[in-house]
């Protein structure tokens, strides 16, 4: 059955691709990293608050990218930044990474490649994919996003990693170059994200926007991004609900 593609009120264009922020919106990074950190600690005789460790590692994410966004450092893929941040996170909890083999560190760093999908993600993406191009619009590099998709069963049509756009959100080129790779006008692309700041930046770049609530992304005490904080085109509590609102 064909549908009339959703027309974005903010761009005035029919949406042809619905792209998704990935960490936190499509996959549960905190649970995934904590699970693998706990397994690492048990295997190597360390005592570790796995969820606090996941939070600490994630907290280094934005500062690492900011050095690239501001031109202090040339583009470096996210796997490398995660590896550098892992070194800091381990030292913070009293574990000396110099005492661990490169194989052990590489495997722990690949926690980000094996993150679990939120329970509604696969169903919702599959429904949206019937009528729209779907893929990630993420700061993850291509191999990371590919491994994640295969592990979690994410039914992407296309994967355009940040190592292809050579920039990190929320810089405008992260959104615009992704649209260019798809031969689409910015207004024909919708970003779906659980983070209001990401949606503000994507709207400024000319994309359509959809907010998806993930109120436990940062654990039970989350205080930010509990609700839409802008007049986004659409807002939903899950990806299947977003599919409903898109007519999919």
Query: How much is the pTM?
Result: 0.96
Residues in the chain where the model's pLDDT stays below 70 = 1-2
Query: In the β-sheet with 189-193, what is the strand arrangement from edge to edge?
Result: 133-136, 17-20, 189-193, 208-212, 234-236
The pLDDT value given to residue 1: 53
CB 145 within 8 A of CB 22: yes
The pLDDT value given to residue 2: 67
The pLDDT value given to residue 248: 85
Q: What are residue 216's phi and psi, to 5 degrees?
A: -120, 15
> Using CA atoms, how far apart are residues 112 and 79, in angstroms rounded to an integer?
8
The pLDDT value given to residue 20: 98
Among the listed residues 110, 103, 194, the one whose alpha carbon sits nearest the alpha carbon of residue 145:
110
- Residue owning tokens 């085109």: 233
List the Cα angle 140/146/148 in 5-degree steps. Answer: 75
Q: Which two tokens stand for residue 118?
A: 């939120």
């Amino acid at each position: 059955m064909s549908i009339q593609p959703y027309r974005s009120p903010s761009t005035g264009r029919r949406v042809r691709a619905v792209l998704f922020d990935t960490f936190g919106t499509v996959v549960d990074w905190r649970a995934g990293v904590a699970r693998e950190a706990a397994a690492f600690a048990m295997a190597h005789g360390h005592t570790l608050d796995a969820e606090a460790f996941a939070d600490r590692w994630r907290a280094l994410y934005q500062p690492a990218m900011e050095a690239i966004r501001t031109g202090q450092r040339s583009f470096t893929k996210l796997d490398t930044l995660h590896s550098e941040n892992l070194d800091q996170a381990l030292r913070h909890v009293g574990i000396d990474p110099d005492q661990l083999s490169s194989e052990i560190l590489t495997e722990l760093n690949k926690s980000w490649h094996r993150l679990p999908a939120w329970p509604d993600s696969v169903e919702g993406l599959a429904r949206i994919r019937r009528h729209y191009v779907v893929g990630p619009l993420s700061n993850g590099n291509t191999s990371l996003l590919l491994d994640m998709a295969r592990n979690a069963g994410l039914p992407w049509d296309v994967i355009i990693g940040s190592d292809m756009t050579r920039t990190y959100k929320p810089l405008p080129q992260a959104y615009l170059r992704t649209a260019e790779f798809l031969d689409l006008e910015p207004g024909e692309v919708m970003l779906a994200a659980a983070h209001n700041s990401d949606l503000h930046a994507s709207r400024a770049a000319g994309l359509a926007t959809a907010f998806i609530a993930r109120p436990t992304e940062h654990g039970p005490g989350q205080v930010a991004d509990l609700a839409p904080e802008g007049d986004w085109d659409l807002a939903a509590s899950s990806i299947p609900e977003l599919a409903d609102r898109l007519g999919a």
